[in-house]
Amino acid sequence: MSFCAFPQVGHGVFADDQSAGVSCTGEGEAFMKTGIARRVASNAEAGASASQAIEEALRYMVSRLGSGEGGAIAITPDGEIGIGWNSKQAWRNIILETQSCYPHYFGFF
């Protein structure tokens, strides 16, 4: 299992002002083969919520390759935030204008 150690536009990161800004983490090879970040952005541009866009992209990766674990965070041009993952555990941080930042750990579902 290899993990991506650097961002690759369209695969692990993507952003434009018409769809979404997306950052991914996980099994790098699976994300590269399926262009997950760009797929999340395309889903959002087509009308999916940020969370739905991520969920569909992760399902696509697994259906296409038979494997692939990781997650993504996306923000749409109107400020909607989506977070999704298909791994057993995930760390995430979000700073909102009215809140302090602290890590949220979700493990072993």
State the greatest distance between any 2 C-alpha atoms of the chain, in Å, as a whole number.
Answer: 41
Please state, rounded to an integer, the average pLDDT across all residues of the chain.
Answer: 81
Q: What is the pLDDT of residues 94-107, one digit of tens each?
A: 556 665 555 554 44
**Within-domain flag for 4:** no
Q: Is the dihedral of CA 15, 21, 24, 29 positive or negative?
A: negative
Task: Kindly compute the dihedral angle of the four CA atoms of residues 102, 68, 83, 40, in this order, to the nearest 10 degrees.
Answer: 140
pTM of structure: 0.77
**Within-domain flag for 6:** no
**Within-domain flag for 94:** yes
**Within-domain flag for 82:** yes
| Domain around 57 | 13-107
The confidence score (pLDDT) of residue 14 equals 92
Residue 1 has pLDDT above 50, yes or no: no
Domain count, the chain: 1
